[in-house]
Amino acid sequence: MKYVDEYRDPAAARALISAIARVARRDWTVMEVCGGQTHTLLKSGILQLLPAGITLVHGPGCPVCVTPLEQIDKALEIAARRQVIFCSFGDMLRVPGSAGSLFDAKAAGGDVRIVYSPLDAVNLARDNPRRQVVFFAVGFETTAPANAVAVEQAGRTGLRNFSILSAHVLVPPALEAILQSPGCRVQGFLAPGHVCAVTGLRDYERIAETYRVPIVVTGFEPVDLLDGIRLLVEQLERGSAAVENQYSRVVRTAGNPAAQDAVSRVFEICPRKWRGIGEIPASGLRLRAAYREFDAEVRFNLAATGVAEPPECISGLVLQGIRKPHECSAFGIRCTPETPMGAPMVSSEGACAAYYLYGRQ
């Protein structure tokens, strides 16, 4: 397929790997932020082919993995109600809450449905006026514009039976939290291409300057990732800390203004808890006051629960690149994709699941 195959070409990958070997003189630790990138790196075997001195640590860019337990518990509580059709992207269904997952809620008779787009959930609300349709709005800046348009659409058409449970998170505050953490090993970032396609590069330029850390906005195919690593290592070797755009076929410097406008019409920035990491200030999105009636937490009057996460799960350290998945004592023993203990073992974009599926490194 055009715009896919040429970025999976083994000859191109080999040329880039030897180019990286030519420029890398010292040891470097860099983080790929997005779980989709983690998945490609493990699936394609790139990690084994890189020069030994280049270490990739895997970032928090898996929305499934960072959605806090209490938000999953709220989803479960809503999904258990008889009048509710609970809609979610498929990868959220198996994430364990403190008592089971959405999949379990479905097995217990809850009407839980997988949708491909938030607009599908809006259409379900239109077609089922006697039911309450709730959409689990999970995701980064990439997904927020679509969810904003869905809420606007519901507002415009006067749907009174549509609401969202928001667990939206933002990437730049998480990068800053990682850089400020005392155990931080990260010397450069491969930034998430599709997030930047929406937001543009401005926040990343500020981070690169403030923390003196190079950042390369990178795509998701093997050749993109190798090209991104090459650019990052070149910067590290020459002591540069700039933002570069490897993914210029999709990402413009200013991002996508129409998508940004949709987000800021509907959402506002709020503090957000990240699973395993804790609360990060100004790292989430919630509905603006004008759209409060579409907020499922308001509609169903849900209070904060303050639940505790399983102590053995070190997902917080994994998601910050401080520990690798196989360093967790539960990895592959008490925690597997069939019986996940923490969210990074659930989604194929979670670092723990990727290590389990494609062999630990």
Partner 1 sequence: MCLAVPGLIVEVVEGSGPALRQAKVDFAGIRKQVSLAFTPEAGAGDWVMVHVGFALNTIDAREAGRIQELLRQLDDAAARLEPGTE
Stretch that binds ligand SF4, among 17-25, 111-119, 293-301, 322-330 (CB under 6 A): 322-330
Question: CB of 250: closest distance to partner 1 in angstroms?
Answer: 5
Nearest to 340 by CA among 64, 47, 44: 64
Q: Are 65 and 167 within 8 A, CB to CB?
A: no
Helix, strand or coil, per DSSP, at residue 102:
helix
Nearest to 100 by CA among 347, 353, 340: 340
**Cα dihedral: 191, 193, 194, 199 (round 10):** 70
For the chain, the maximum distance between any two Cα atoms, rounded to a whole number of angstroms, is 65
CA angle 109–63–84, rounded 5-degree value: 25
The answer to whether residue 354 forms part of the interface with ligand SF4 (CB under 6 A) is: no
Rounded Cα gap, residues 10 and 2, in angstroms: 16
Question: CB of 204: closest distance to partner 1 in angstroms?
Answer: 15
C-alpha distances in Å from residue 220, one per residue of 4, 134, 143: 10, 31, 16
Closer residue to ligand SF4 in complex, CB, 236/319:
319
C-alpha distances in Å from residue 332, one per residue of 325, 345, 355: 10, 10, 10
Nearest to 341 by CA among 102, 95, 15: 95
Single out the residue of 35, 60, 228, 325 in contact with partner 1 (rule: CB under 8 A): 35
Q: Are 326 and 353 within 8 A, CB to CB?
A: no
* Residue 345 touches which member of ligand SF4, partner 1, none, C-beta under 5-8 Å by kind: ligand SF4
The answer to whether residue 96 forms part of the interface with ligand SF4 (CB under 6 A) is: no
The answer to whether residue 313 forms part of the interface with ligand SF4 (CB under 6 A) is: yes
Neighbours of 269 (CB within 10 A): 15
Single out the residue of 325, 347, 349, 354 in contact with ligand SF4 (rule: CB under 6 A): 325
Stretch that binds ligand SF4, among 72-80, 128-136, 205-213, 339-347 (CB under 6 A): 339-347
* Residue 342 touches which member of ligand SF4, partner 1, none, C-beta under 5-8 Å by kind: ligand SF4
Closer residue to ligand SF4 in complex, CB, 131/323:
323
The answer to whether residue 259 forms part of the interface with partner 1 (CB under 8 A) is: yes
Question: CB of 256: closest distance to partner 1 in angstroms?
Answer: 5
The answer to whether residue 80 forms part of the interface with partner 1 (CB under 8 A) is: no
Distance of CA 193 to the CA centre of its chain: 12
The answer to whether residue 16 forms part of the interface with partner 1 (CB under 8 A) is: yes
Rounded Cα gap, residues 176 and 184, in angstroms: 11
Rounded Cα gap, residues 263 and 254, in angstroms: 15
The answer to whether residue 328 forms part of the interface with ligand SF4 (CB under 6 A) is: yes
Question: CB of 174: closest distance to ligand SF4 in angstroms?
Answer: 17
The answer to whether residue 68 forms part of the interface with partner 1 (CB under 8 A) is: no
The answer to whether residue 62 forms part of the interface with partner 1 (CB under 8 A) is: yes
Closer residue to partner 1 in complex, CB, 38/161:
38
Closer residue to ligand SF4 in complex, CB, 303/333:
333
Rounded Cα gap, residues 138 and 25, in angstroms: 41
Rounded Cα gap, residues 361 and 57, in angstroms: 11
Single out the residue of 251, 285, 287, 346 in contact with partner 1 (rule: CB under 8 A): 251
* Residue 315 touches which member of partner 1, ligand SF4, none, C-beta under 5-8 Å by kind: ligand SF4
* Residue 226 touches which member of ligand SF4, partner 1, none, C-beta under 5-8 Å by kind: none
The answer to whether residue 314 forms part of the interface with ligand SF4 (CB under 6 A) is: yes
Closer residue to partner 1 in complex, CB, 231/296:
231
Q: Which of residues 273-332 bind partner 1 (CB under 8 A)?
A: none
The site for ligand SF4 (CB under 6 A) is made up of 312-315, 318, 325, 328, 330-331, 335, 341-342, 344-345, 352
